[in-house]
Amino acid sequence: MKYYITTPIYYINDIPHIGHAYTTIAADVLARYHRAKGDEVFFLTGTDEHGAKIAEAAERAGKEPQEFADELVPKFVDAWKNLNISYDEFFRTTDPKHEEIVQEFVGKLKESGYVEKRKYEGLYCVGCEKFLKESELVDGKCPDHKKEPVKQAEENYFFKLSEFGDKILAKIESGEIEIGPDTRKNEVVGKIKQGLEDVSISRAGVKWGIPFPGDPEQTIYVWVDALLNYYSATEIYAHTTPNPSSERRGTAIPPLAPPDSGGGPEWPADLHLMAKDILWFHAVIWPAMLLAADLDLPKKVFAHGFFTINNQKMSKTIGNVIDPNEVVAKFGADAVRYALLREFPFGEDGDISVEKITSHYNSLANNIGNLLQRTLSMMNKYQVKSEKLKVKSEKVSIDSELEQLDFMGALKKIDDLAITTNKNIADKQPWVLAKEGKTEELTEVLVGAHSDLQTIAELLDPFMPETAEKMKSQLKSLEPEPLFPRLEE
Ligand code: MSP
């Protein structure tokens, strides 16, 4: 089975933060899980490099936008490397091949009759890269960026989104495009039913973008450019051999994982993953663009929640932005991956902090780490060999949790298995059994624990690949070494 999964392509106006890491880790868990099942996975991530937001950030830094982008891309590549993200391709929207595909696509849209040039006046938020309605403002400001949007009057090309409401509703209702979680799907459906407004797909005042076909005065709206990355990655792969990543502009970005044997991704995507902030673009505007161009729709779009840091919105002004590299340096990639997905349900909003990651690290050490240590040391001490007894390990599956993107539920199940096994050791007291010479019972407890640890390592693999690897090798050698060493102050 093919499995094509994507993250949003992140704006590179600044270095990556823990929010970007969250979605990317979740996608990585799914990619690894599907690879282990034998699926032909293609995992796409990347950077969104055009538009006013990036141009302004570059200007503040006194750089040309392309130069600025080229400097920021490695920060994302490094962060993903540190977090063990096994993407198959890192996509940049300044890839000339992508620019060509976007122009071609917009050219097709124009021909389809769904594009019209109109005068428009609206309130634009550069932070969101979109026009906001008066009704969306709070105290005259964008609720997400706490800034007043700028009044803009220009002549733009409009995409007639208003003509797609019923078609998209039908596709959602028939399940042809699945939107999750349900609460978000209902919000989207409700909003579509209120009627869709046409959207501007070009900008007259923005130079840093892909030229609009047939009108060099305008550039293509950055969101049209960005959404198309999911499709254009498939086109680039289909028409380029070998792996195009070596030929791309700017920094050479080697794919971390060798592309799966089947080659590149095929449209449509199986899953677009993102947070709720950009669900509308993915669940409505993107499908409408695809319908207008007669292309298939993504099979599933899932929006997870937003988290705060210490109960506050993450912001530079507050100074609570968490740099993924810093927490990885302190806790290791695996504990960070675990903590983010274990803390609150995927799909809901939550809160994260360094203290919370610390406490997850300690629980890992006290539960799974301790179980491995004590099992292996007792096996050594009492000369128990794992092949001595055939013991049935608890059958635990996290398939249904992962199918539903319930990462927290899956991790909880794994933790619970370790808790049960630890409790069994505490109850049976192998040290007493050894003293009393009850060899068979002693062996049963320890070999049972050994086999449960094997199960735990397998289940943990997509979440904590390094830890799973270490566990498997220790279970083989029977030489214990702490999985989660005491943290330095
Ligand atoms: N460039 C657009 C996406 C284009 S995709 C065709 C964009 N970029 S972004 O850099 O702002 O990234 C937004 C995404 O980052 C969210 O949808 C989410 O995946 C992730 N997150 C950013 N902050 C987050 C939190 N505080 N909590 C959870 N996810 C967060 O939008």
Q: What is the arithmetic mean of pLDDT over 236-245?
A: 63
- CATH 1.10.730.10 location in the chain: 354-477
| pLDDT on residue 241 | 53
Class of CATH domain 2-160+198-267: alpha beta
Query: Is any atom of ligand 1 closer than 6 Å to the C-beta of 289?
Result: no
Q: What is the arithmetic mean of pLDDT over 237-250?
A: 53
Pick the CATH number of 354-477 from 3.40.50.1820, 1.10.4000.10, 1.10.10.10, 1.10.730.10: 1.10.730.10
Tokens of 366: 């006290």
Residue with the bigger pLDDT between 250 and 18: it is 18
| pLDDT on residue 214 | 95
Per-residue pLDDT for 321 more than 80?
Answer: yes
* Residue-wise pLDDT tens digits, 352-380: 999 999 999 999 999 999 999 999 999 99
| pLDDT on residue 263 | 64
CA 192 to centroid of ligand 1, rounded, Å: 22
Average pLDDT, the chain: 93
Per-residue pLDDT for 256 more than 70?
Answer: no
Q: What is the value of pTM for the model shown?
A: 0.95
Task: Select from 12, 93, 277, 307 the residue to mutate for testing ligand 1; criterion: most ligand atoms less than 8 Å from CB.
Answer: 277
Query: Is any atom of ligand 1 closer than 6 Å to the C-beta of 10?
Result: yes
Query: Is any atom of ligand 1 closer than 6 Å to the C-beta of 9?
Result: yes
Query: Is any atom of ligand 1 closer than 6 Å to the C-beta of 22?
Result: yes
CA 10 to centroid of ligand 1, rounded, Å: 6
Query: Is any atom of ligand 1 closer than 6 Å to the C-beta of 275?
Result: yes
* Residue-wise pLDDT tens digits, 128-170: 999 999 999 999 999 988 899 999 998 999 999 999 999 999 9
* Residue-wise pLDDT tens digits, 399-443: 999 999 999 999 999 999 999 999 999 999 999 999 999 999 999
Q: Which of 136-150, 231-245, 271-285 has the highest mean pLDDT?
A: 271-285
| pLDDT on residue 144 | 87
| pLDDT on residue 237 | 84
Q: Which residues make Cβ contacts (< 8 Å) with residue 184, sequence separation at least 6?
A: 276, 279, 303, 347
Band (pLDDT 50/70/90 cuts) for residue 387 is: confident
Q: What is the arithmetic mean of pLDDT over 264-284?
A: 96
CA 166 to centroid of ligand 1, rounded, Å: 28
> What is the percentage of the chain residues whose pLDDT exceeds 70?
94
Residues with active-site annotation:
17, 20, 125, 128, 142, 145, 313, 316
Query: Is any atom of ligand 1 closer than 6 Å to the C-beta of 233?
Result: no
Band (pLDDT 50/70/90 cuts) for residue 244 is: very low
Question: Which atom, in ligand 1's list, is nearest to the CA of 276?
Answer: 17
Band (pLDDT 50/70/90 cuts) for residue 91 is: very high
CA 427 to centroid of ligand 1, rounded, Å: 47
Residue with the bigger pLDDT between 246 and 466: it is 466
Please tell me the residue having the least CA distance from ligand 1 atom 16.
275
| pLDDT on residue 240 | 67
| pLDDT on residue 239 | 77
Q: What is the arithmetic mean of pLDDT over 232-240?
A: 86
- CATH 3.40.50.620 location in the chain: 2-160+198-267
Q: How far apart are CA 211 and CA 413, in angstroms?
A: 51
Q: What is the arithmetic mean of pLDDT over 228-237?
A: 94
